[in-house]
Structure 1
Amino acid sequence: MSEHSFDFVVIGGGSAGYAAARTAHSAGLKVAVVDGAEELGGLCILRGCMPSKTLIESANRQLTIRHAEEFGLKASSQGVNVRTIRDRKRRLIADFAGYRQGQLEDGRFVLYRGFARFTDAKTLEVVPRDGSASFQVTARSFCIATGSEVFAPDVPGLAKAGFWTSDDVLDADALPKKIAVLGGGAIALEMAHYLEAMGCTITMIQRNTQFLTGLDRECSDVILKAFRARGMTVHLGTHLERIGKADGGKEIEFTADGHKHQIHVDEVLLAMGRKPATRGLGLEAAGVSLHKGKVVVNDRMQTTQPHIFAAGDVCSPLDVVHIAIQQAEIGARNAAALIHGKPVEETMDYRMELFGVFSHPQVACVGASEGKLKSEGVPYLTANYPFDDHGKSMVMGETAGFVKMLADAKTGEILGACVVGPEATELIHEVVVAMSFRATVRQFMAIPHYHPTLSEIWTYPAEEIADQL
């Protein structure tokens, strides 16, 4: 078996893997990337962020047409062409993926198209995708960036009955009429928004008693009301009993609020989250530990084997691409420091943890939630303001939701914020910038806001908190 030696080897060529590789190369390291996926690009480009948002843009325009009469316009949807929507997505994603493939193949690092497995803490066995002979790769440091895969719960009959995942929705040229969406996180909400807009009849079945577990319940309440107003059936606090094939479709049995339910749908969309992709990596041979399926890392992105780093969904507390990239860059710079005999000092800071959901209405949050501040015993002040009393959102006809700000009860420093409503994923960045400079609510109020804009809604909770200081 032939052997190849490097300073730094990255397992996985997605957003985190590429970021780790380019950062390590810029630090002067000899770098290789091992990626065994059928297509280069990673989850975000191929099956996550970008394709889903492409489809959602079509859904958003369909909702605009539905409400045309409110604005004095005579317009109605003449139906949807799912194949055209799919083909537009394919064109855009091919462009994005081609650009990433070019970055991986531009000569800065060696790219191996194959599957990697640790045989010890310094050695990988690589099995090429093309079936050629396996070979060894050794390195002074590694970064595990293999991402995540769909989580399938152990529900009786589910595997045999079969199901769709978001991958199937994103590449479908036709859609089933009646769909049950299992889950209540970001993927479930975004897919339900798209599918309902395309004319599907949606039943949502969520295990938790709210959508978006971990966020303050008031965020879920707005989405719940909006989805039900669109005609979706929503069951919260459920327990799945059985899923089976029936009459050319699927039959689902579940309990909710102490009552048994049985529904028949054409297809089941499994959207109950993802799990770290660690199978076959030989982590035990490398001395790398897992906790609840995720690779254990410290704040320097080191695993339990100090020269092996990790980044992205495989280890992250929040599976979003900007955090994955930041983790990868920090891990790569720390690996370079380790190799050069310098202290490994750069750390991840999750103070401004940022999260967004492109449903309708949208949801976005940054920093600490009210629940987290309470659990940590941090003294805080909070205020919110509704979109149904805000001029610009009223003009837009987008009045569902609110903004909420949290600040330190002594200093007034902004500690967190959330927004549910129009353009939430854009609006949140005003608070992100303020928090990056550790701004107080009084400093935030001093920032000019043009009128009338959605953005100026943030000044109301800031002013209310400032008055309490």
Structure 2
Amino acid sequence: MLGKYPVFPPTDSDFLDQPRGDRYDVVVIGGGGGGYHGAFELSNGGYSVLLVDDKGNLGGNCLYEGCVPSKSVSVMVYLLERLRGLMRGVGNDSVGQVRLVWENLVDHKDNVQYIRYLQHIREVKEHENVDFVRGVAEVLDNHRVRVRAVDGSWEKTVEGKYLLVATGSVPIRIPVPGSELAIGSQELFGYKTSYRKVPSGVVVIGGGYIGVEVASVLSGLGVKVTIVEMLPRILSGWDQDVVSQIENKLRSRGVEIVTNSKVVEIREEGGEKVVVYEGPSGARGYVKGSEVIMAVGRKPNVEGLDRLGIVDRGHVDVGASMRTRVPNIYAAGDVIGRYMLYHAAVKESVVASWNIMHGNPVYEVNFNAIPMTIFTEPEAAMVGLSEDVARARGINYVTVSYPLEDDAYAQIIGVRDGFVKLIIERESQRVIGGVVYGEAASMIINEIALAVAVNARVKDLALLPHAHPTIFESIDRAAIRFKV
């Protein structure tokens, strides 16, 4: 619920007052990636901006309970595993005695969040045309927005020539008996969370990237994890080679994966939580754990937006310019229901702001060049067209791959599992997609995304020298394997 958080992020006293003005060039609703980047661009362009967010700081759910804190935890597990692997490689098993305490991991991610929240306060103050307010915004029509204080101490209606809607998303909780027994990302990764002891065993409901990332982190700490997924396979929509690798890795860490199974009930029994699921035949089974984690995804937060006529099938409908069907209203971020990723929201927000300043929808987001990453151990990433999509579109394509076991940096760091795969349109030799599984996949994929965005040919990558020894050499090593 808006304005309701166990712990609010640090804020500034100036942000607690009601909006200073009555009219603004642009009213931005939401301080996440889809909101504040556009607000800053508009400010730099001389536009007066009211930016409203109920947390009283920037970063949205990504910083409060999502990508930043979860990555802060997972990177600590990653570093421990790298150290253990390197030491065992030279015959030293004593490093296996080194343990990470969950509470220490939570303290680390709290500190990272705090640093970024202070940074955001500074950034707001650096943009003098931005009036930032901690409040709850209610859209009255395509120009008027009612803003009220989180504590109800004031309320004010303002007008904007333009609106930028960036209300984000909310977690999905499946409607089954006992669903209130499950915890989610707010309990695990929320700012200053009171949940500070690692469970002995967990059942993760949902085999998408969020559920798989949580399973990877907890299993790395020795927690017994079971994933229950209703589809035939985890990570629906991902490259099948990647899915197979992640499944094998998770199982090697003791993770049980139950697919084709729909959760029908959660209950407490004998001090544990029991997840009851139903298979395709109707037969029921169950798994137990000390905790149940709900990770079935998120949905756009469109509450109160129906009156504007911009909502379609549960999301705000926009074109690549980020303009809605109402000419003076733009939208960006999770609320549009496309790539529900922070980095996508940022670019959508910037494009929206540029089009507002231009006066016409000139700029567009290249959705085909938005990379997706799974922060498992090791990581996985993909961008552009997958093989399945290319095949379905009748594209004559070819793939080239390079195994990371042959990469110098992967050998140095002690992680040789994985590959870099490029998907190439045969006739034009353009790079139309890419898949990476292994060390630093989240970094490697960005260069491939650039190649996709600029319609680079495979020989452009093959001829690009990368610094040695870095893992980016795997890109040109894959590209040079292309044969006409």
Same fold (TM over 0.5): yes
> Equivalent of 1:455, from 472, 476, 481?
472
In the alignment, structure 1 residue 165 sits paired with structure 2 residue 184:
yes
Report the RMSD for the aligned CA atoms in angstroms. 2.2
Which residue does the alignment assign to 1:251? 274
Q: CA deviation at 1:238?
A: 1.8
Q: Hey, what's the Cα distance between the residues in 2 that align with 1:272 and 1:9?
A: 32
In the alignment, structure 1 residue 270 sits paired with structure 2 residue 294:
yes
Alignment of 1:146-295 (within 5 A): 146-159=167-180, 162-170=181-189, 171=193, 172-256=195-279, 258=281, 260-279=284-303, 282-291=304-313, 293-295=314-316
Contact 1:62/1:197, CA 8 A, preserved across alignment = no
Which residue does the alignment assign to 2:436? 419
> Equivalent of 2:109, from 85, 89, 114?
89
| CA distances 1:70-128 after superposition (whole Å, capped 9, x unpaired) | 33224223433222221122112101011112323443211222111122221111121
Letter of the 1:283 partner, please give it.
L
Letter of the 1:352 partner, please give it.
A
Which residue does the alignment assign to 1:434? 451
In the alignment, structure 1 residue 71 sits paired with structure 2 residue 90:
yes
Q: CA deviation at 1:42?
A: 1.5
Which residue does the alignment assign to 2:121? 101
Q: Hey, what's the Cα distance between the residues in 1 that align with 2:443 and 2:173?
A: 32
Contact 2:205/2:293, CA 8 A, preserved across alignment = yes
Contact 2:52/2:132, CA 8 A, preserved across alignment = yes
Distance 1:95 1:419, change over 3 A: same
Q: CA deviation at 1:13?
A: 1.1
Contact 2:208/2:297, CA 8 A, preserved across alignment = yes
SS in structure 2 at match of 1:351: helix
Contact 1:121/1:285, CA 8 A, preserved across alignment = no
Alignment of 1:335-374 (within 5 A): 335-338=356-359, 343-374=360-391
Contact 1:222/1:400, CA 8 A, preserved across alignment = no
Calculate the TM-score normalised by the size of structure 1.
0.92
SS in structure 1 at match of 2:79: helix
Which residue does the alignment assign to 1:464? 481
| CA distances 1:395-437 after superposition (whole Å, capped 9, x unpaired) | 5442332221111111111111001111111222332333344
Letter of the 2:202 partner, please give it.
I
Alignment of 1:33-48 (within 5 A): 33-37=51-55, 40-48=58-66
Q: Hey, what's the Cα distance between the residues in 1 that align with 2:361 and 2:399?
A: 38
Contact 1:195/1:202, CA 8 A, preserved across alignment = yes
Q: CA deviation at 1:40?
A: 4.4
Letter of the 2:232 partner, please give it.
T
SS in structure 2 at match of 1:113: strand
| CA distances 1:370-404 after superposition (whole Å, capped 9, x unpaired) | 11212222221112233345555355442332221
- Matched residue pairs, number? 458
SS in structure 2 at match of 1:334: helix
Q: CA deviation at 1:19?
A: 0.8
Letter of the 1:349 partner, please give it.
N
Contact 1:384/1:403, CA 8 A, preserved across alignment = yes
Distance 1:312 1:226, change over 3 A: same
Contact 1:414/1:441, CA 8 A, preserved across alignment = yes
Contact 1:121/1:287, CA 8 A, preserved across alignment = no
Q: CA deviation at 1:237?
A: 2.3
Letter of the 1:372 partner, please give it.
V
Letter of the 1:247 partner, please give it.
G
Segments of 5+ residues of structure 2 without an aligned counterpart are 1-17
Which residue does the alignment assign to 1:405? 422
Distance 1:137 1:210, change over 3 A: same
> Equivalent of 2:346, from 325, 328, 341?
325
Contact 2:300/2:337, CA 8 A, preserved across alignment = no
Letter of the 1:163 partner, please give it.
A
Distance 1:437 1:336, change over 3 A: closer
Segments of 5+ residues of structure 1 without an aligned counterpart are none
Query: Sequence identity of aligned pairs in percent?
Result: 27
| CA distances 1:212-261 after superposition (whole Å, capped 9, x unpaired) | 21112221110000010111111122211211121222111113475532
Contact 1:122/1:286, CA 8 A, preserved across alignment = no
Distance 1:35 1:392, change over 3 A: closer
Distance 1:5 1:184, change over 3 A: same
Letter of the 1:277 partner, please give it.
N
Which residue does the alignment assign to 1:80? 100
Letter of the 2:90 partner, please give it.
F
Q: CA deviation at 1:450?
A: 4.8
> Equivalent of 1:6, from 10, 13, 24?
24
Contact 1:166/1:187, CA 8 A, preserved across alignment = no
Q: CA deviation at 1:459?
A: 3.3
> Equivalent of 2:156, from 132, 135, 145?
135
Which residue does the alignment assign to 2:5? none
Q: Hey, what's the Cα distance between the residues in 1 that align with 2:470 and 2:28?
A: 45
Contact 1:46/1:93, CA 8 A, preserved across alignment = yes
| CA distances 1:430-461 after superposition (whole Å, capped 9, x unpaired) | 32333344321122211224555433333343
Contact 1:391/1:452, CA 8 A, preserved across alignment = yes
Q: Hey, what's the Cα distance between the residues in 1 that align with 2:450 and 2:262?
A: 41
Range 221-230 or range 425-434, more displaced = 425-434
Which residue does the alignment assign to 2:15? none
